[in-house]
Amino acid sequence: MSHHGKNLAYALLIVASIVPSTVYGQTVRVDTDHATNSFIPNQSLGAGIDRMPAAAAEKYFGQPALPAVLAAGWQPVTYRQNTELAVEAWHWNPQGTWSDPSGKGYFTGRATPTETIKHSYGYPLPHRGFTRNEGTETHGFSRMTDGDLNTYWKSNPYLSKAFTGEEDSLHPQWVVIDLATPQPINALRIAWGDPYAKQYLVQYWTGEEAIKQPTKGSWVAFPSGVIANGKGGTVTLPLTSSPMTVRFVRIWLTESSNTCDSHGSADPRNCVGYAIRELYIGTADGNGFHDSARHTPDQDQTTTFCSSIDPWHEPSDLGSTQHEHVGFDLFYHSGYPRGLPAMIPIAVLYGTPEDAAAEIAYIEKRGYPISYVEMGEEADGQYTLPEDYAELYLQFAVALHRVDPNLKLGGPVYTGQNEDIVVWPDAQGKISWTGRFLDYLKSHGRIQDLAFFPFEHYPYEPCKIGWSSLYDEPMLVSHILQVWRDDGLPPNVPMFITESNITWNGGESSVDIFGALWLADYVGAFFNAGGKALYYFHYLPLGVHQGCNDSMGTFGMFTTTGNYEIQQPTSQFFASQLINTEWVQPGNGVHKTFSGSGDISDAAGHSLVTAYALLRPDAQWSLMLVNRDQENAHKVRIEFNGEAAGGKSFFTGPVTVITFGSAQYQWHPTKEGGFPDPDGPAVRASVNASVDTVYELPKASMTVIRGIIASLPTKTH
């Protein structure tokens, strides 16, 4: 039988099961008295376009990819900014000017439109201090343990007094050495660059993991680790009389020499901050200094982390262009934004305020609509302390609002956490990253510069996902929204999830029916909990990749050939259609959300059926029901309770029922990737409903039920 024939037969089965009956199973109830939220689909249900392989751009931004992607129904687009995850300076416009007349330094893209921008690239930073970070960066290396005294790490000049207007001690910069295992240490050798530190501390970590567990230990200065009169050059510091066994060592920098680096004195940015050419750590005795660090220009070097990086670079840093961002002109003219205002990013951590202002000026001179401006990318994943990010945020906000006072700015963008993000305690013992970021804005009288609060949502850890993980999503997404409010986010600042999928590993973002049910629960729970907008990631087709335990996954909604050509939709494509074109009424009408709940649980107490209710602009009530039972269908009766519904109400008259589940879509993995069979689409049925109608929810399925409700007639005596 053909797929069409199978789905027709299945639709008839659904219709047969939705019949009046005096005997029914469990009940789904909707509270109609208290709307939990409201949203507008063409402002709130969007998708993200990120960096892509250079060879894919021509395939993605044209036929036949465009209509296939748009058919998913996502509306506004957020342009994702990936270069910061790769520790690169973003040239959003290949044309522009360098701060150094010789053609290097700090780059500012051309704000005046000339030729069409189709491509943009990231330039790896030469003064980097990371061996690796928590972003997409899996190449490159730190200049502090690369074995080359001609290279150096340098901190971001915009965090110095010349730009903050505050003492450098209020924005201490730092580097951390990770020896991988505890080692005996009693000496540190620093080959300083310029500018060097005049005052600094050398500290050791008392816990197990200083970077990933920043609250489970403390930094303690070595007995001889307080330096008050640093002179630069190469210095060997005795830290303690006898070796101590430590793994992590931190150099905490609080006063700069303000001497100029190797790029000269013409640009004041060259003469502030801190620079280190090479770090050596180990033991010193009568036979000399014994270095425990590995010095090599790759990721096998002894690992270092740093507080910030100077965005200085030069043309030769570009290297190969295997990946790119789409140029703004091609982006806006492609059709993906649908003519709607788009969320546009700026580079904060490794950019400059001048370049960010030029970017926005360019877009506005072209007449392209901007909805929001997202400020930087994953500051927590770059180990930036909240006060430093907040200071950069405010400097960039001033530059952007000079271009357009009406711009709506938001940040930061986090790395997809389920709990509050914590950092080393400040002087008051406060460890919440968000709380301290908000405190900084408030203490500087600038909280009004935060027009929205965006973050990423990747709820599950790769390689640890089972079917029972589905039960957690509604709690996870609603919990994290409450965490940000508890951290002090003002109630009038809306929360957006600007990037999301099952996990941050594309090979683990399920292509089977699990992925569809997760997406339904995520979207429904997010809006019910008070979220204002979310963006599916990734809008463009990425193909299927190997995950853990022979699983297959993708961030996108399609399988592709090796030449980036669409083959078949994945389960999240069909789930997207149900959400965007069936559950909601497409367009700019206000939808109100209401709490719904089922009374179907398993033996462990997991809710097997979740319900998300909307009152649409067309006066229809729309329920999205997710049956997370992998083995069993469930029959339910639906009640609407509350004064707004006339006491107790039910669907009456013509009701539309659309279902997508394991009967419509099954994924079959192969060594090469896999394929779905059957491969959709959802099935549609119609019924003339009444108070006694029972609705069957097939196993492992999502179902949208939509129609008009009416209350029971009042009995007369």
| pLDDT tens digits along 549-559 | 667 778 889 98
Q: What is the pLDDT of residue 645?
A: 59
Lowest mean pLDDT among 94-103, 381-390, 666-675: 666-675
Average model confidence (pLDDT) across the chain: 92
Q: DSSP states of 525-547 as a string? A: HHHHTT--EEEES--S----EE-
In contact, 309 and 274? CB cutoff 8 Å:
no
The continuous run of DSSP H or E covering 16 comes out as helix 3-17
From CA 348, how far away is CA 375, in angstroms rounded? 6
Burial class (CB in 10 A: 0-12, 13-18, 19+), 485: middle
Task: Report which of residues 8 and 25 the model is more confident about.
Answer: 25
The continuous run of DSSP H or E covering 362 comes out as helix 353-366
Q: What is the 3-state secondary structure (H, E, C) of 285-318?
A: ECCEEEECCCCCCCCCCCEEEECCCCCCECHHHC
- CA nearest 395: which of 269, 306, 506, 504? 269
Other Cβ atoms less than 10 A from the Cβ of 229: the count is: 6
Q: What is the pLDDT of residue 713?
A: 62
From CA 386, how far away is CA 432, in angstroms rounded? 9
Mean predicted confidence (pLDDT) in 283-312: 96
Q: What is the pLDDT of residue 132?
A: 87
Residue 249 gets the label, from left (phi > 0), alpha (psi -120 to 50) or beta, of: beta
Q: What is the pLDDT of residue 646?
A: 67
From CA 521, how far away is CA 177, in angstroms rounded? 42
Q: How confident is the model at residue 324 (pLDDT cuts 50, 70, 90)?
A: confident
Q: What is the pLDDT of residue 54?
A: 79
Phi and psi at residue 249, in whole multiples of 5°? -125, 135
Mean predicted confidence (pLDDT) in 97-119: 96
Task: Report which of residues 58 and 411 the model is more confident about.
Answer: 411
**Angle, CA 383 vertex, CA 377 and CA 389 arms, to 5°:** 60
Q: What is the pLDDT of residue 717?
A: 43
From CA 528, how far away is CA 474, in angstroms rounded? 9
Phi and psi at residue 222, in whole multiples of 5°? -60, 155
Q: What distances in angstroms separate CA 600 from CA 29, 290, 513, 605, 608, one per listed residue?
A: 12, 66, 20, 9, 6
Q: Rg (Cα) of the chain, in Å, rounded?
A: 28
Q: How confident is the model at residue 623 (pLDDT cuts 50, 70, 90)?
A: very high
Burial class (CB in 10 A: 0-12, 13-18, 19+), 263: buried
Other Cβ atoms less than 10 A from the Cβ of 2: the count is: 8
Reported as a single tens digit per residue, the pLDDT across 399-447 is: 999 999 999 999 999 988 899 999 999 999 999 999 999 999 999 999 9
The continuous run of DSSP H or E covering 403 comes out as helix 386-403
Lowest mean pLDDT among 114-123, 128-137, 468-477, 660-669: 128-137
Is the entire prediction scored with pTM above 0.85? yes
Reported as a single tens digit per residue, the pLDDT across 463-511 is: 888 899 999 999 999 999 999 999 999 999 999 999 999 988 776 667 8
Lowest mean pLDDT among 74-83, 313-322, 384-393, 607-616: 313-322
Chain centre to alpha carbon of residue 700 = 28
- Which residue(s) pair with 53 in the sheet? 323
Reported as a single tens digit per residue, the pLDDT across 521-568 is: 999 999 999 999 999 998 998 888 777 766 777 888 998 888 888 999
**Which residue's structure tokens are 């439109």?**
113
Q: Round to the nearest angstrom and report the end-to-end CA distance of the chain.
A: 57
Reported as a single tens digit per residue, the pLDDT across 353-395 is: 999 999 999 999 999 999 999 999 999 999 999 999 999 999 9
Phi and psi at residue 593, in whole multiples of 5°? -105, 145
From CA 392, how far away is CA 351, in angstroms rounded? 10
Q: What distances in angstroms separate CA 532 from CA 37, 44, 46, 494, one per listed residue?
A: 8, 6, 11, 6
Q: What is the pLDDT of residue 213?
A: 96
Q: What is the pLDDT of residue 21?
A: 36
97 three-state secondary structure? strand
Reported as a single tens digit per residue, the pLDDT across 194-239 is: 999 999 999 999 999 999 999 999 999 999 999 999 999 999 999 9
Could you give the domains of the chain? Answer: 153-310 (2.60.120.260)
In contact, 273 and 195? CB cutoff 8 Å:
yes
Mean predicted confidence (pLDDT) in 314-321: 86
